[in-house]
Structure 1
Amino acid sequence: MSIFKARVKEFEDVLAPPQDEIDLKQLRRLAFNGVPDVQSFRALSWKLLLGYLAPKRSTWASTLAQKRALYKQFIEELVLPPGHSNNGDSGSGDQADLRGVGLQDHPLSEGPESAWNTFFSDNEFLLQIDKDVRRLCPDISFFQQPTEYPCTIVVHSKGEHGRRLHERVVPAVLSSANVERKGLGMTKINLITKRSVENYAAMEEGQEAHWEVVQRILFIYAKLNPGQGYVQGMNEIVGPIYYVMASDPDLSYREHAEADCFFCFTALMSEIRDFFIKTLDDAEGGIKCMMARLSNMLKDKDPNIYERLKTQELHPQYYSFRWLTLLLSQEFPLPDVLRIWDSVFSDEHRFDFLIKICCSMMLIQREAILENDFASNVKLLQNYPPIDINVVITHAVSLA
């Protein structure tokens, strides 16, 4: 039996029936070494590792049904324009009241309780979401392609504007909204656009591109988390999760990729949300603490590299800020990011291993870093050279 077939058999033994209780410890051990790109292994493993599904298989059906129904409710209440029911008709009378939109609420109302006022003010962060998701993972065509399962209550809009989020965006406010992001350190991850900046087109009525689905996920997340809102870079976190869910070979799961992705993304964000809130930069779980841990590890493993960067005043926020905040999603091609996240999600001390990977990235480039001047090192660390990701992960595992 080949090594690959042996690994597939191991995952089948852990994830497949008849056993009702998934051995999470065993799953972590297997997934840490990479999840095979077959069957539904990765999508199911991530749902379990992120806590969306409980280890007990008998609870899955009810959990999924409940969560997916809840997500549909989010769409109806947060995405559809005020005064519209979920059957495509304009809300009037009792229907409108069910959505909390009565006769006193006019589209021109500026009252703080006005659903219409909220509807229009959402444009401020929706604009940034729209801009970011239209260039998500441009090195692959996936996000530009139509989903097989468009959200019917949104795409069949019968000519109405406002149901599809990209139709709401008012570009005129771009100059102000573009810089009004909450948190994200002194660089605000302004190098996040190192990839292509091509702009994806929206689909015709009745269809949705995958990026439009991601846009809706981020919009709903921002609406449900007003204290945090949307921060540029969240698109790079949700993108790989959605790709995994929407590529599930099991069509019964793929059909619900949007809802499942939303709850997996929310679970992950609950762990890393401190990275995206500037006021928590100095907290124990904040990004400054994470960068300090990386610097300390580098100093311990290779004082020469540490001193070289310190002498050049090449501070960690110039490179590791983005590495850590975005879980390396900008530094490697998508297949490599998925492989990294298999290990990161499997690690019970989740971000300990992420720091080891980042440290290994620098140790592997030791000779170049020691020889380079400041400008060359900035370029090297902000545009990490192509490498076999297994080399980086193996090196990271070796770090005690």
Structure 2
Amino acid sequence: MIPSRKSSDGANRKSATKIPVAHDKHSDDEAKMMADVAKLNTLSIRFTKFKNMLELPNIDLEQLRKLSWSGIPEEIRPTVWKLLMGYLPANSDRRESTLQRKRKEYEEFVAQSFGKGKTSLDQALHHQIHIDVQRTNASIPLYQNPRIQEALERVLYCWAIRHPASGYVQGINDLVTPFFQVYLQSYVKGDVERTDVDSISEETLTDIEADCFWSLSKLLDGIQDNYTAGQPGIQRQISRLKELINRIDAPLYSHLQSQGIEFIQFAFRWMNCLLMRELSLKNTIRMWDSYQAEGTDGFSEFHLYVCAAFLVKWSNELKKLEFQDMMMFLQSLPTSTWDEKDIELLLSEAFMWKSLFHNSPSHLASHGPS
């Protein structure tokens, strides 16, 4: 009896290894197709929600922020960003006239600064901006084009001379490019980073330039103490990041301390350039959807928690390294393969940490209510 039972089990096992393999593959294909369909349906529903909201005579900005937190469809991102940044009014009747007036105002700024040629400019300021723009997004063809570089130089120069309290600080050159890329996207087809710049009219480029100037101004108004003398805003953010990591991941904090790693050595750049040197421009743009949805504190308060989540993400790797290797790792983090899902996970973790710690007694005692 026993051998025959063995034989029967063997036969059953043999047949069981054949049929499910084919079935599993079919199931996987079907599941993938269903997931793709579900994703398309979700995107379609979200797009319709945005479209309906943007067609209202008066947009509820709070509702627009809530909808934008999970990402904004590429086709309507330029309009949504202008609304969320406070560049365009919520009232649809006033929108076009506001746009024309602000663009005209920027043209006048450019004429005042550049009208007499480059020799009349503040040479030291212009030279610094010129050098930084040459290095901006060096791997992206769009930003190596002289027309684009000159447009960025004008935006940065005009902003700097109108903000003498801070003036131009290296790193601000990075912050203008997400706006430029998003606003250009509405005028071109395909991959915006490989756009044929010769196909862009002068009038279009001038409009994009003006929109970038005003959007950058709005952004920097909220984090201006990051760029005033001594950069107190950044110093404060780094101090708070240090405190947060100690509370979120004490073993990582202890390891950084034991190796003599100062937070300013790696986190200064994270605050100064809003992680743009660590993430691709496309990923930065997705991140900024959520930053703007967070409201006035998105680029300061929420960014702090994103930096905390970002550092903790590498905790296991960092705890195995000593000072020299750790510094090298932190200066060149392996994010080149990151996509939108990685960014959304990072944002979700940051939201969680903010929910847990932002209004905690320790935070309020140390820093006062924000």
Q: Output the TM-score relative to the length of structure 1.
A: 0.70
Are residue 266 (structure 1) and residue 217 (structure 2) matched?
yes
Shift of residue 139 of structure 1?
2.3
Shift of residue 382 of structure 1?
1.9
Match of 1:72 in 2: 107
Match of 1:339 in 2: 286
| 3-state SS of 1:54 partner | coil
Shift of residue 367 of structure 1?
0.8
Match of 2:30 in 1: none
Amino acid at match of 1:55: A
Task: Deviation per CA, 1:35-63: give whole Å up to 9, x if none.
Answer: 122x2x21112111111112111111221
Alignment equivalent of 1:365, drawn from 294, 311, 314: 314
Match of 2:130 in 1: 130
Match of 2:254 in 1: 307
Match of 1:395 in 2: 349
Q: How does 1:1-400 map to 2 (within 5 A)?
A: 2-15=41-54, 17=55, 19-37=56-74, 39=75, 41-81=76-116, 119=120, 122-145=122-145, 202=146, 209-249=147-187, 256-281=207-232, 286-348=233-295, 349-350=297-298, 351-386=300-335, 387=338, 388-399=342-353, 400=356
Amino acid at match of 1:313: G
Contact kept? 2:167, 2:228, Cα under 8 Å: no
Shift of residue 227 of structure 1?
3.1
- 4+ aligned runs moved over 6 Å, structure 1: 250-254
Contact kept? 1:221, 1:266, Cα under 8 Å: yes
Shift of residue 398 of structure 1?
2.7
Shift of residue 327 of structure 1?
1.1
Shift of residue 253 of structure 1?
7.2
Q: For 1:76 and 1:249, locate their aligned partners in 2 and report how far apart those are by CA, in whole Å.
A: 25
Match of 1:161 in 2: none
Tell me: CA distance 1:280–1:337, structure 2 relative to 1, closer, same or farther (3 Å).
Answer: closer
Contact kept? 2:68, 2:289, Cα under 8 Å: yes
Q: Which moved more, 1:256-265 or 1:42-51?
A: 42-51
Match of 1:152 in 2: none
Percent of matched pairs sharing the same residue? 29
Q: For 2:89 and 2:204, locate their aligned partners in 1 and report how far apart those are by CA, in whole Å.
A: 16
| 3-state SS of 1:360 partner | helix
Task: Deviation per CA, 1:252-290: give whole Å up to 9, x if none.
Answer: 977611111101111111111211123451xxxx11111
Q: For 2:160 and 2:280, locate their aligned partners in 1 and report how far apart those are by CA, in whole Å.
A: 27
Task: Deviation per CA, 1:290-317: give whole Å up to 9, x if none.
Answer: 1112111111111111111122121111
Amino acid at match of 1:241: F
Contact kept? 1:79, 1:220, Cα under 8 Å: no
Match of 1:102 in 2: none
| Aligned CA-pair RMSD | 2.1
Contact kept? 1:74, 1:220, Cα under 8 Å: yes
Contact kept? 2:278, 2:333, Cα under 8 Å: yes
Q: Which moved more, 1:297-306 or 1:341-350?
A: 341-350
Q: For 2:343 and 2:140, locate their aligned partners in 1 and report how far apart those are by CA, in whole Å.
A: 18
Task: Deviation per CA, 1:369-396: give whole Å up to 9, x if none.
Answer: 1111111221222222123323322322
Task: Deviation per CA, 1:96-155: give whole Å up to 9, x if none.
Answer: xxxxxxxxxxxxxxxxxxxx9x825x111111111111122122211234xxxxxxxxxx
Choose between structure 1 and 2: higher helix proportion: 2
Q: For 1:58 and 1:253, locate their aligned partners in 2 and report how far apart those are by CA, in whole Å.
A: 22
Tell me: CA distance 1:391–1:376, structure 2 relative to 1, closer, same or farther (3 Å).
Answer: farther
Tell me: CA distance 1:216–1:271, structure 2 relative to 1, closer, same or farther (3 Å).
Answer: same
Q: For 1:249 and 1:79, locate their aligned partners in 2 and report how far apart those are by CA, in whole Å.
A: 26
What number of residue pairs does the alignment pair up?
295
Q: For 2:66 and 2:325, locate their aligned partners in 1 and report how far apart those are by CA, in whole Å.
A: 38
Tell me: CA distance 1:370–1:42, structure 2 relative to 1, closer, same or farther (3 Å).
Answer: same
Runs (5+) with no aligned partner, structure 2: 1-39, 189-199, 357-370
Shift of residue 231 of structure 1?
1.3
Tell me: CA distance 1:68–1:226, structure 2 relative to 1, closer, same or farther (3 Å).
Answer: same
Tell me: CA distance 1:218–1:255, structure 2 relative to 1, closer, same or farther (3 Å).
Answer: closer
Runs (5+) with no aligned partner, structure 1: 83-115, 146-201, 203-208
Q: Which moved more, 1:3-12 or 1:332-341?
A: 3-12
Shift of residue 33 of structure 1?
1.0
